[in-house]
Chain A
Amino acid sequence: MSRPGTDLARESRVAAESLCPGVGCGELLWLDEPLSLWGGTDLATGMITDVHHPQHGLSIAGRVLVMSASRGSSSSTSVLAEQIRAGVAPAAIVLSSRDAIITLGALAAAEVYEVWLPIVLVDEHGRTALPRSGPVAVVATDAGASVTWNTPPFPND
């Protein structure tokens, strides 16, 4: 296993666009399909409750969520704001489309609670470069945004 932060580890980085500023770190969670937070996740725990979703049964709480977009109801905005309030929101969200429904939830929570959940946009190239799992850091400011992670120097060492 690699030890993040050691000299042997190499830092990898994908540039992104900031949709909502903030800093967040956590284990990656890739969503294989769009997800409606309203009706698809639990308000109090962040569990994915949509039985048709491939990641059903996993929790979004504290994870860095990689998703193409949300799906369905615009009430997902309120649900994300509520999950941020309750402390069960993702640590960061990496989108591949300009999803206003998701982003407004984070912006509204920032206005009311001054908690900033970073939401960034990556292009197809950046999305492909992201690892499938492991810890990453997401930094989003008005000047730009990035997703960074440590890569072990030797595969499977």
Chain B
Amino acid sequence: MGSTTATALILTEEDEAKLAGEHGQGVAMAMRIIVALARISQAPRLIDISSAHIDGCLYHGQAGLDFAEKLVSLGAEVTVPTTLNVSSLDLMHPGIVRLDPEESAAARRLMDAYVAMGARATWTCAPYQLEGRPEFGSDIAWAESNAIVFANSGLGARTARYGDFADVCAAITGRAPLAGLHVTLNRVPTLELDCSGIPSRVLDTDAAWAALGFAVGRIVGEEVCILTGIDPALVDEDRIKALGATAASSGGVALFHVAGSTPEALVAGAAWPPAGVRRIPVTGSVLRAARDELTTASVADRLDAVSIGTPHFSLTEFAKLADLLRDGAPFDPSCTVWISTSRDVLAEARSAGYAQLCERAGAKLVVDTCTYLVPILSETVRTAMTTSGKWAWYAPANMGINVVLGTLAECMASARAGRVIRDESAWN
């Protein structure tokens, strides 16, 4: 051992057997990666996990494909329930993603490799909207920053920040290092964000929670915070999703609590925020400043596209959208509305009639992938509007377009008008 190595990793006999190839060479390869990760993170031992979510199925190049196909060729299979994140293709709407045939074929092979290992073909960044969610307190190995922060914060499950390669290796071995947010002490809030200065009517749109998430990420970085002063009646899973996804992008937030609302904060009760933690006020003007930082176009600008459903649209979000579209007014022909969702939620939205309502208004549905990761939007799009803080954060750099963060109502009014409409009353 190196002189600077402080913590010794203790492996069980079973771990050693996996490492030695007694469960096959695929398991041995996965175990080498997990053990290396445990050493990097100075974990004292490995723990069992009860589910995995794999982000490695998005095609970034030959190396990711070679890694997955090597595991398949060595006979590796997942040993815990495993979901798959978005891929580079929409298998239900072929042709919607503009990739060259060679890259499409490689992306498809990558998807096939992960399915061959026994993972579910869910192709969603919002696995928490599917059946079989992790239980409170259970240890899981999830990748994709928005899924990680939702599982930790909204479900009270425990996952560290897993990424490419570590995710599938945890799924194959069923083991993960005891480190990071698997450790109870690391889940206690180290600062309080006092939100009592934000009017409740402002916090009654999902986009406000995205703006709040942007501010939270900027303030806390990678720390664990607790938001106080928020009426529990305003908190739902779509809002936890919106806050978490943006905070994970603007900072490195993997867990936050909302006093009186999220599962661990409910258990802790009056004990949180812990005595002596720093307290930082977050006001309505902080929220508006975040909104404006996530906006690079101006009111009244011509609008070419609207993108919603990043992270993937939920059934309740479809219901809210259907309410706004029920009067039947169509979108401006020069503005395309894109809705990203999972194939499972789309099936539910169809049986409820929501999806048909959206399509009748002119919206286009995307499943299995996402509108800022692969080329989907028309190349002529200059300005797009979104309810998603994460999309607003990444789209200007990834796609070279201007973006406006707005509420769902603002987005729909703007799509109908073909220009950016701001309703300041929703933000004040």
Interface set of A (CB-CB < 8 Å, partner B): 15-20, 38-39, 43, 72-79, 81-82, 84-86, 98-101, 103-105, 107-109, 111-113, 121, 123, 142-145
Kindly identify which residue among A78, A98, A145 contacts B40, using a CB–CB cutoff of 8 Å: A98
Among residues 34 to 81 in chain B, which have CB atoms less than 8 Å away from a CB atom of chain A? 36-37, 39-42, 55-56, 58, 60-64, 66-67, 70
Residues from chain A with Cβ under 8 Å of B70 in the complex:
111-112
Closest to A79 in B: B60
With contacts A74-B161, A98-B41 known, what are 6 further pairs, Cβ within 8 A?
Answer: A74-B143, A75-B164, A81-B64, A84-B63, A109-B63, A142-B1
CA distance A16 to B143 in the complex (A): 29
Kindly identify which residue among A17, A75, A85 contacts B163, using a CB–CB cutoff of 8 Å: A75
B63 touches A112 (CB 8 A): yes
B165 touches A104 (CB 8 A): yes
> Cβ of B162 < 8 Å from any Cβ of A?
yes
Closest to B56 in A: A78
Residues from chain A with Cβ under 8 Å of B55 in the complex:
74-75
Q: Can you identify 23 A-B contacts, CB atoms within 8 angstroms?
A: A15-B3, A15-B4, A17-B5, A18-B2, A74-B164, A78-B164, A79-B60, A79-B61, A81-B164, A81-B165, A82-B63, A86-B61, A98-B42, A100-B163, A101-B163, A103-B40, A107-B32, A107-B33, A108-B67, A111-B29, A113-B66, A143-B2, A144-B4
CA distance A107 to B164 in the complex (A): 12
> Cβ of B397 < 8 Å from any Cβ of A?
yes
CA distance A74 to B85 in the complex (A): 13
A100 touches B56 (CB 8 A): no
> Cβ of B145 < 8 Å from any Cβ of A?
yes
Residues from chain A with Cβ under 8 Å of B334 in the complex:
none
With both chains docked as a complex, state the minimum distance between the C-beta of B230 and any C-beta of chain A, in angstroms. 28
Residues from chain B with Cβ under 8 Å of A79 in the complex:
60-61
CA distance A43 to B55 in the complex (A): 19
> Cβ of B166 < 8 Å from any Cβ of A?
yes
Residues from chain A with Cβ under 8 Å of B36 in the complex:
20, 103-104, 107
Residues from chain B with Cβ under 8 Å of A112 in the complex:
63, 66-67, 70
> Cβ of B398 < 8 Å from any Cβ of A?
yes
A104-B165, A108-B67 are known contacts. Are A75 and B40 too (CB-CB below 8 A)? no
Closest to B373 in A: A75
Residues from chain B with Cβ under 8 Å of A43 in the complex:
60-61
Kindly identify which residue among B4, B41, B145 contacts A73, using a CB–CB cutoff of 8 Å: B145
Residues from chain B with Cβ under 8 Å of A18 in the complex:
2
CA distance A38 to B5 in the complex (A): 30
Residues from chain B with Cβ under 8 Å of A72 in the complex:
249
With both chains docked as a complex, state the minimum distance between the C-beta of A138 and any C-beta of chain B, in angstroms. 14
B33 touches A108 (CB 8 A): yes
CA distance A145 to B145 in the complex (A): 32
Return the CB mask of B125-146 against A: 1 if under 8 Å, else 0.
0000000000000000001010
Kindly identify which residue among A17, A39, A81, A101 contacts B67, using a CB–CB cutoff of 8 Å: A81
B37 touches A39 (CB 8 A): no
Closest to B29 in A: A111
Kindly identify which residue among B32, B61, B145, B161 contacts A78, using a CB–CB cutoff of 8 Å: B61
A85-B61, A111-B32 are known contacts. Are A121 and B4 too (CB-CB below 8 A)? yes
With both chains docked as a complex, state the minimum distance between the C-beta of A1 and any C-beta of chain B, in angstroms. 34
Residues from chain A with Cβ under 8 Å of B40 in the complex:
19, 98-100, 103
Most buried by B among A43, A72, A77, A81: A77
CA distance A109 to B61 in the complex (A): 12
Residues from chain A with Cβ under 8 Å of B145 in the complex:
73-74
CA distance A100 to B166 in the complex (A): 9
With both chains docked as a complex, state the minimum distance between the C-beta of B317 and any C-beta of chain A, in angstroms. 24
Most buried by A among B39, B61, B145, B249: B61
Residues from chain B with Cβ under 8 Å of A77 in the complex:
163-166
Residues from chain A with Cβ under 8 Å of B161 in the complex:
74, 100
In the A-B complex, list the 9 residue pairs whose CB atoms are closest, starting with the nearest.
Answer: A74-B163, A82-B61, A81-B63, A78-B60, A144-B2, A82-B63, A77-B164, A17-B4, A108-B165
Most buried by A among B2, B29, B64: B2
Residues from chain A with Cβ under 8 Å of B37 in the complex:
100, 104
B2 touches A145 (CB 8 A): yes
Closest to B70 in A: A112
CA distance A100 to B398 in the complex (A): 24
Residues from chain A with Cβ under 8 Å of B5 in the complex:
17
Return the CB mask of B154-181 against A: 1 if under 8 Å, else 0.
0000000111111000000000000000
Among residues 1 to 24 in chain B, which have CB atoms less than 8 Å away from a CB atom of chain A? 1-5
Most buried by B among A78, A86, A101: A78
Residues from chain B with Cβ under 8 Å of A121 in the complex:
4
Residues from chain A with Cβ under 8 Å of B56 in the complex:
78
CA distance A17 to B6 in the complex (A): 10
Residues from chain A with Cβ under 8 Å of B66 in the complex:
85, 112-113
A15-B3, A77-B164, A112-B70 are known contacts. Are A104 and B63 too (CB-CB below 8 A)? no
B4 touches A16 (CB 8 A): yes
Residues from chain B with Cβ under 8 Å of A101 in the complex:
163
Residues from chain B with Cβ under 8 Å of A85 in the complex:
61-63, 66
A75 touches B63 (CB 8 A): no
CA distance A73 to B70 in the complex (A): 24
Residues from chain B with Cβ under 8 Å of A100 in the complex:
37, 40-41, 161, 163, 166
